[in-house]
Structure 1
Amino acid sequence: MEPDWENLEALALGLILDKLEERIDHVWFGAVCKNWRSIAKFNHQNQQFRTHVLPMLMIPRTNICLYSIPAKRMYAFKFPIINYKITCCGNSHGWLALEDRNHVVTILNPFKNVAHISLPPLNNAYKSSCYVVKKVTLSADPIIRPNDYVVLAIHKSSSLAFIKAGQTCWTYYIRNCLFFMDVMFYKDLVYGVSHCRGIVSFNLDLDDPYGVTIIPTNNVVFHGTFKGYLVKSLEGDLWLVKRDLSFEYNNYYTICFQVCKLEFDAQSGKVKQMVKLESLGDNVLFVGENT
C-alpha cells in the first residue's frame, strides 16, 4: 500500500511540525494540502510550536531581504513601506520602528495585516538634517493592548522621550549625568544603561506624563570606555552585555565582551548585584544599535 500522506493523524503531523526549526518551513508545511494546513493553523493558534528559534535577519539591499541563518539562504520580502529616506531605529514585540528625514517615527508590523502607527515628530534640537533617534522600544504589543502601550525612544542627545497610545506629543526626560546607551521595559519598569550612572531603573507614571521616578540601583557603576546592551534571556532574566572599547588612531576597537545577569530586590525592583556569566547556555545574543 502507498502511504496516505494527506490524511496522516494529527499527532504525527504535530510531531513533524515540532521538528521544523524555521517559520518558513511551517508555511511550506501548510501548503501541502488542506489537512496539513488545518493542523499548522491549529498549532499556531494554540501556541503549540517552538517559541525560541533563531531569528531571520533583515538585510537592507535594493529590496529588503530576509536571511535564514540555519539555511544560509536569502528570501525575497515585500516590505510594506517603499521609501529609502527612512532608517530602522528599533524593533519590539514584532513591530519595526522607522524614522524619516522629518523625524517622524512610524511603527509597523510587516507580518500582520494591521495599520501603521504614525507618531508625532521628535524634537530636532540640533537642527540636524540627519536622523535623531538612536533606539525605539515598546512596552507592549499594540495589537494586544491598543490603548495601553508606551513608546520609549533614545534621542541622539542620549536623553529619553516617551509617548503613550493616544497622546499627541512626546514627553522628554532630560537629566544631567544620564546619557543612555540602551533601555528596555522589564517587569513594569524601564531599565537603562547610562554612561555615568551605570544601571538605572525608572517608573513611568502614566497618570502624570511628566512624572518619572528614578530608582537607585545600589551603585552599579562602570568605569572605562564601554558600550552596554540590555537583553532578555530565554529563561526570562535580564542580562547586561558590556562591550569594553579602546580608542586608537581615531577609531574605537572592541577589546572584549562581558555578560552579567542582573539580580533584583523583589520589592523595590532595584538592582542588588550583577553576576558575571561564564556560559550563555542555549542563548544566542544579537546586539547592536537597535534591539
Structure 2
Amino acid sequence: MADWSQLPRDLIERISKTLDTATELLRFRSVCNSWRSSACSRERRLSSGFQILPNGITKSSFGFCLSKRAVYLIGSPDSQHLSQWLVKLEEVIPDRKRLVNPLSRNPLKSESLPENFPRMLDLNGISVKELGQAYVLRHVSYRPNSTSFTDAGDLYMEKVVMMWLDSEPSEFVLLTIHLSGKLVLFRSGDRTWTIIGEGMGMDSPYDDVIVHKGKLIGVDNTGKVVSVSKDADLTLVANPVFGGDKKYLIQSSRDQLLLVDMYLSIDTEEENFDIGEEFMGHLAQYMRERTVRFKVYRLDAGEKAWVELGSLGDTVLFIGDDSSFAASSSDLYGCKGNCIFFVDTYNARELGGLGKEDDGMWVEGICVFELESGSMGPLVNYPEYHKIFWPPPRWLLSPPSEVELAKQAEGLSL
C-alpha cells in the first residue's frame, strides 16, 4: 500500500491549491504532519469583532464591528445515519462560535437546543461541507457609556460582502448598500465610507451585493449588474432584466452567476377598511408583501445579458437575509433539486406553516418554491426538507449521562 505521507511536497501544495474552502484545506492539512507542513494555510483571518473606526457617514463617534459567518452542511460519517443539518456559525470571540439561523440573522437561543446538545463540536469526526459565507456589520459606540444608537449611521447592512486584496496580506474592501439605495465602499485604512455615485442623481436602488470570481458585484432593482473596483469605479457586467420586485445574486455550485428575481404582491391584513386619513397615516401597518413566484437567470458574460433558466436541474438555492447560497441535490439527502428556499413569514402564516414550539423559531417563515410547477408552501409541509433545518440529528447529540438515564428509568417506573 502506498504511503501517502511520502508524496512530493510540490505535489501536495498543488493539490491543496485546488481546494475551495478553508474547511476543506483544514481537513486536508489534518491528514499528517507532512501534508500540514507542505500545504500552508491560505486563510487570512479577521479577528473576532474587528472594529472599523468611525463610520464617517454621520461624522459621529459611532463605528462598526465586523464578524464572519459561514454556512455548513454537516452529516454523519456513518452511512446508516442518512441525516444532515444545515447550520450557520458565527465567531463572536476567538475560537468560540454561536449558532445562527441559516436563512436569517437571528442567533439560536441556547434554551431551544436539546439538553444533550454538545457544547463542543469536533468537525474532524463528521462530514462537513461549506456552502457559503456572510459578514455582519454591527453598530458600536466609541463614546464612553453610550447606549443610544439614533446617530449610528445610514447603512442598510442587511448584506455586506468582504474581499481581501492581493497587494497586502491585511488589506481588504467591504461593499454594502446605503439607505439611499447606492453602493457604499470601505477600504481598510480609510476613515470614511465612500458612497458611490453620490451627487449624481438617483438611479434604481441596489438590491444585493456579492463577491464572484474575485470581483465585487452589485445588482440594482432592474437587474443591471456592475463590478466595483477598490477605487470605487463601476464597470457594467449585465444589462437590466425587468419584471420582478427584488433581485438576488447567487453563485451556483458550478461557479455560474445566477440572478433570482422575486415577484411580490402587496396584500392588506384586513379586506374591509375605509381609506381615510387615519388609514393613510398608518399604511405600513396594514400592508404586507407576499412572495408569489420567482424567475432565475444565468449570466451570459460575453453578451452582458441574463438568460432565463427553465430549470435549475439538480441545484437548490437558498435565499437568506445576509447571504444566499447554492447546493447540489446530490449533497442533500432526500432533496430532488430545482427548488428555492426563502423566508416569507406572511406567506407561511397564511398557509399555516409557522414553526412549531419545538422548532425554537428555527424554521419560522421558511418556504419552498418549486421551479418546475411554480408551486410554493411552508417548510413544515415538506418533511423531507424540514429535517435538514430542524431538529438537530440524533447522531450529533451527546449520549445521555448515567444521571439522565437514571432519571428516564425513574420516569418510566412511575
TM-score range, shorter chain: 0.5 to 0.7
User: Residue 258 of structure 1: which of 295, 302, 308 is its match?
Assistant: 295
Structure 1: tracts of 5 or more residues without a match: 1-6, 15-22, 31-35, 48-63, 104-123
- Within 5 A, what are the aligned runs for 1:19-168? 30=30, 36-38=31-33, 41=36, 45=40, 68-71=73-76, 72=84, 79-80=92-93, 96-102=135-141, 127=151, 132-138=156-162, 140-141=163-164, 145-146=168-169, 148-168=171-191
- Structure with greater strand percent: 1
The alignment of Structure 1 onto Structure 2 pairs a total of residues equal to 218
Partner of 2:225: 200
**Superposition TM-score, scaled by structure 2 size:** 0.41
Instruction: Give, as a single letter, the amino acid of the residue that structure 2 aligns with 1:181.
Output: D
User: Residue 232 of structure 1: which of 243, 248, 251 is its match?
Assistant: 251
Alpha-carbon RMSD across the aligned residues, in angstroms, is 4.9
| Separation of aligned partners in 2, 1:93 and 1:166 | 27
Q: 1:148 to 1:44 in 2, by over 3 A?
A: same
| Separation of aligned partners in 2, 1:239 and 1:129 | 31
Q: 1:288 to 1:43 in 2, by over 3 A?
A: farther
1:217 Cα offset (Å)? 4.4
Q: SS at the partner of 1:261?
A: strand
Q: 1:40 to 1:230 in 2, by over 3 A?
A: same
- Quick check: 1:221 aligned with 2:253? no
User: Residue 177 of structure 1: which of 203, 210, 213 is its match?
Assistant: 203
| Separation of aligned partners in 1, 2:291 and 2:89 | 33
| Contact residue 136 and residue 290 of structure 1 kept, 8 A | yes
| Separation of aligned partners in 1, 2:90 and 2:210 | 28
| Separation of aligned partners in 2, 1:76 and 1:289 | 15
| Contact residue 135 and residue 290 of structure 1 kept, 8 A | yes
1:172 Cα offset (Å)? 1.0
- Quick check: 1:276 aligned with 2:308? yes
| Separation of aligned partners in 1, 2:70 and 2:256 | 31
1:159 Cα offset (Å)? 2.1
Q: SS at the partner of 2:33?
A: helix
1:110-164 CA-to-partner distances (Å, cap 9, x unmatched) read xxxxxxxxxxxxxx9x8469974222112x3369843553211112332221122
Higher Cα radius of gyration:
2
- Structure with greater helix percent: 2
| Separation of aligned partners in 2, 1:193 and 1:165 | 23
Aligned residues: percent identity? 23
Instruction: Give, as a single letter, the amino acid of the residue that structure 1 aligns with 2:226.
Output: S
1:232-281 CA-to-partner distances (Å, cap 9, x unmatched) read 12332211011211111322222122211011237xxxx2x211223334
1:179 Cα offset (Å)? 0.9
Structure 2: tracts of 5 or more residues without a match: 6-11, 13-22, 43-68, 77-83, 99-103, 107-130, 143-148, 270-286, 324-414
**Superposition TM-score, scaled by structure 1 size:** 0.55
Partner of 1:57: none
Partner of 1:17: none
Q: SS at the partner of 2:160?
A: strand
Q: SS at the partner of 1:247?
A: strand
Instruction: Give, as a single letter, the amino acid of the residue that structure 1 aligns with 2:137.
Output: L
Q: SS at the partner of 2:93?
A: coil
Q: 1:237 to 1:246 in 2, by over 3 A?
A: same
User: Residue 261 of structure 2: which of 239, 242, 247 is its match?
Assistant: 242
Instruction: Give, as a single letter, the amino acid of the residue that structure 2 aligns with 1:80.
Output: I
